[in-house]
Amino acid sequence: MIFARVAVPVPARAGALFTYAVPERMTVDPGCLVVVPFASRILPAVVVEITPEVPAHPIKDLLGLVGGAPAISTERVRLAQWIASYYRASLFDALSLFLPSGWQRAVVEDSGGDASAASWVFRWPVPPVFEDSLVVPTPESASRRASARVGVSAWSRAVALLEERGAMRVSDLAAEIGCTLAAVRGMVTRGMLMEAKDLTPQHSFRRGNGETQLPPIILNPAQQSVFSEVDDALQRRSPEVFLLHGVTGSGKTQVYLRLIESLVRGGRRAIVLVSEIAQTPEALERYQKRFPGKVAVLHSVMPDAHRCRLWREIYQGRFDVVIGPRSALFAPVPDLGLIVLDEEHEPAYKQEESPRYHARDVAIQLGRRVGAPVVLGSATPDVVSYHLAERGVYRLRVLPDRYSGPTARGHSSGKLPVVDVVDLREELKAGNTGIFSRSLRAGLESVLGAGEQAILFLNRRGSATCVLCRDCGHVLKCRRCEVPLVYHKELGELVCHQCNRQAPPPPKCPRCKKSRIGFFGVGTQRVEEEVRKQFPGVRVLRWDHDAVGRRDAHLQIHRQFESHQADVLVGTQMVAKALDFPGVTLVGVVLADVTLHLPDFRAAERTFQLLAQVAGRAGRGEAEGRVVIQTYSPAHYSVLAAARHDYLAFYGMELAFRRYHGYPPFRRLARLLFTGSGEARARYEAIQMRKRLQARVDELGIGDVDLLGPAPAFHSRIRGRYRWQIVLAGEGLARLLEGMDLPLGWAVDVDPMSLI
């Protein structure tokens, strides 16, 4: 008899396994999904190990096997064990990263809850049957759509998408435009769309009534040098890590595409990660043009059923390229030969819930296990990544100049934009109390007069970011979160950006009962209003969290601005990265100080990255670009370096700051956070944990770990629950946390991206 050691969804120490006997007529391997009896319940489980070793205590049999083949490859099972160990997480949670959403529920429902049904073979959880037909626009679609309002109906959105990408499956199209399968089939029945019998040919791209052969990708000497080195690693299946530091507009994506072309010719596949869903439409378009019908996009906004079907098709090898945010890294791509992380510096690659992994580090571990090189691309690399490259842990390759010449979107001048830093203190002295400095207003007048486009960036939502009483100074805060409420004029409500609680502005101050309530600060909605007020008739779009409630909102905003249906795009960090609009000649940073003075060791780095990235959106076409940065801290090194497009100057200053204070990359960090109901209890639990940690440090003789705190978290109360934290710093973190069970209410974040 053999035995299976499995991971089960119950609270347990990181890496804990439970042993079950394998019935004689059942064949299981590591990575198989099974159903097990656990106490009085039936639970899904993942097989991690097979062993002939007889347990010393009585054990139960496995109840059933889900499907025949392992759902998770051996390499990925081992990777999940690394994730659980390194990030101090449940092994079952780590394994679940590699499976489609909803699989646990489907398995248990399929079992019928019958614990006596020993050794049944349960079906793999699948969504309802999808229609696999391919559809394309009818010949009359273009003229019919021209007479309709673009983007208003599901049909017009469907035609726009099909004109961009070519033939699509009914299920894919329905998911992308946010409607039902029946609605798409109805379009076919009514002659609004038509079925296509075959996929578009490889390397062709359908637009309108015909197909256009894509020209080969021509790389300049710097790009060719990078391509040659990474391609050599591809051919040798060497899991090397390349840090590609290329200025904005240097053509990093062209290098990625050429590498994937080389990879696909050899019969292997790639994963391309983008930091946020907002970037996915443009990224998908570029790759879909080059690999039509062979690109899958995965992200959390998709319905579970659609994600599950895509997971199965990826598992079966239908796609050559998988694109998406961090969760796409766990797609079951067979013959994986390359992993690309675009904008590798982005904090969005860090998972905020357990397992609190960083996609960059997991990608490197996955590459080592499957023999795939990893390319980390950025115009503003993470300071820790660049330090590792300097030490030779990563291979540093540089694209120092913007790409110059013809592109898929027109012609690029190859010049970085000119940057003007405006001291807002001087504007106030000159009597200008408005949102826009004289320089930025003049720039907007020039751009709009020339028929060009502008982007205005502000990393704050809303109309007013602070609501207070002019008499007693009381600031209106969320009663559940203890954070200031933000006024949203379009809603007529005060909104908490932590818990989304909404309330109308009070007629009187809750403290002094006087009626002089004032609205202060600026958010993206206020910027949008001011543009419309100062430039009547201007077409303005806003791209922030409040504007993207619909599933396809990112795509619609992107297409509207790209097709010049708007003159000015106002947004938060969504507009700061990976967007390529050749018509944009002006970028205005309304206030650069939003992130600069936060109590976090990465505040300067985050500010530099945002400023440099958003500045890079200007001048990507033939016309030269200009950037206006408005700030109250014009002498800060992060602002000055961003204005000069000088990453190395910023890196040198920031590294000196980190070395002096003992921050990464010079010491590792871990954050222990307690969340509970009651301020006194939260404080007590934090003090007790500090004592326990200190006792453990003394017992183990760990001399290179400092305990910082306990102290209230920056947001000390969220959704009515109080938060206290302890920060651990040093190289002995793994030894300190190994085998340590955290009480209920505690969470650990290893290598946190932020301490606030």
SS (H, E, C) 69-133: CCCCCHHHHHHHHHHHHHCCCCHHHHHHCCCCCCHHHHHHHHHCCCCCCCCEEECCCCCCCCCCC
Superfamily in which the 221-403 domain is placed by CATH: P-loop containing nucleotide triphosphate hydrolases (3.40.50.300)
Contact predicate 585/218, CB 8 Å: no
Rounded CA gap, 279 and 293, in Å? 20
User: Residue 413's pLDDT is what?
Assistant: 62
- Quick one: pLDDT band at residue 160, thresholds 50, 70, 90? confident
Q: Which CATH class is domain 462-521?
A: mainly beta
What pLDDT was estimated at residue 213?
60
CATH of 669-750 given 1.10.8, 3.30.70, 3.40.50, 3.20.20: 3.30.70
pLDDT of 407 reads 60
Task: From the options 3.10.450.30, 3.40.50.920, 3.40.50.620, 3.40.1440.60, give the CATH code of 3-122.
Answer: 3.40.1440.60
Does the domain at 410-460+523-658 match CATH 3.40.50.620? Answer given as: no
Residue with tokens 């003992």: 662
| pLDDT band at 550; cut points 50, 70, 90 | low
| Per-residue model confidence as pLDDT tens digits over 580-638 | 888 999 999 999 988 888 888 999 999 999 999 999 888 887 788 999 999 999 999 99
Q: What is the dihedral of CA 113, 119, 124, 128, to 10 degrees?
A: -50
Greater pLDDT, 285 or 564:
564
Structure tokens belonging to residue 178: 């946010």
CATH 3.30.70 residue ranges in the chain?
A: 669-750
pLDDT recorded at residue 145: 52
Two tokens, residue 209: 């009534």
Instruction: State mean pLDDT over 284-312.
Output: 82
Show the tokens assigned to 173: 């199209």
Q: Looking at the predicted structure, is the pLDDT value of residue 209 above 50?
A: no
pLDDT at 150 (0 to 100): 40
What residues contact 111, with CB distance under 8 A and at least 6 apart? 35, 42, 63, 64, 117, 120, 122
Other CB atoms within a 10 A radius of the CB of residue 127 amount to: 17
- Direct distance between the N- and C-terminal alpha carbons of the chain, in angstroms, rounded to an integer: 52
Question: Where along the chain do the CATH 2.20.28 domains lie?
Answer: 462-521
pTM: predicted TM-score of the whole model, two decimal places: 0.83
Where does CATH 3.40.50.300 sit in the chain?
A: 221-403, 410-460+523-658
Once rounded to an integer, what is the mean pLDDT over residues 260-285? 85
CA atoms within 13 Å, Cβ hemisphere of 117 = 15
Helix intervals (H) in 346-423:
359-370, 383-390
Q: Which of 5-14, 46-55, 514-523, 569-578 has the lowest mean pLDDT?
A: 514-523
Quick one: residue 320, left, alpha or beta (phi over 0 = left, psi -120 to 50 = alpha)?
A: alpha
Report residue 497 CA to chain centroid gap.
19
**Mean pLDDT rounded to a whole number for the chain:** 85
